[in-house]
Amino acid sequence: MASDVKFITSAFKRDQWAPADRPEIAFVGRSNVGKSSCLNTLTGRNGMARVSKTPGRTQAINFFDVRHGGHDLRFADLPGYGFAKVPKSVKKTWDKMIGDYLAQRESLVLVVVLVDMRRDPTDLDNNMLDWLSDHERPGLLVLTKVDRISKSKQLHRRTLICKGLDVPREASVLFSSPEKTGKGELWERILEAVREFGD
Ligand SMILES: Nc1nc2c(ncn2[C@@H]2O[C@H](COP(=O)(O)OP(=O)(O)OP(=O)(O)O)[C@@H](O)[C@H]2O)c(=O)[nH]1
Ligand SMILES: [Mg+2]
Looking at the CA of residue 53, tell me the nearest atom of ligand 1.
27
Phi-psi region of 136 (alpha: psi -120 to 50; beta: other; left: phi over 0): left
d(CA 180, CA 175): 7
Reading the chain (199 residues) residue by residue, the pLDDT tens digits are 668 899 999 998 899 999 999 999 999 999 889 999 999 999 998 777 777 666 555 678 999 999 998 999 999 999 888 766 677 777 777 778 888 999 999 999 999 999 999 999 999 999 999 999 999 999 999 999 999 999 999 999 999 999 999 999 999 999 999 999 999 999 999 999 999 887 5
Ligand 1, atom 23: nearest CA belongs to which residue? 58
CA of 166 relative to ligand 2 center, distance in Å: 26
Residues with CB under 6 A from ligand 1: 29, 31-37, 51-53, 55-58, 80, 144-145, 147-148, 176-178
Identify the burial level of 91 via C-beta atoms within 10 angstroms of its C-beta, where 0-12 means exposed, 13-18 middle and 19 or more buried: middle
103: Cβ contacts below 8 Å, ≥ 6 apart: 135
Beta strands at 108-116 and 139-144: parallel, antiparallel or unpaired? parallel
Q: Are 93 and 7 in contact (CB under 8 A)?
A: no
**Domain ranges for the chain:** 4-197
What pLDDT is recorded for position 31? 87
CATH of domain 4-197: 3.40.50.300
Q: Which strands form 4-11's sheet, in the order they lie side by side?
A: 4-11, 61-68, 71-77, 24-29, 108-116, 139-144, 173-174
Ligand nearest to the CA of 98: 1
Centre a 10 Å sphere on the Cβ of residue 195 and count the other Cβ atoms it contains: 12
Q: Which of 31, 51, 53, 174 has most ligand 1 atoms within 8 Å of its beta carbon, as the pocket-test mutant?
A: 51
Instruction: Pick the ligand that lies closest to the CA of residue 173.
Output: 1
Using an 8 Å Cβ cutoff, are 26 and 112 in contact? yes
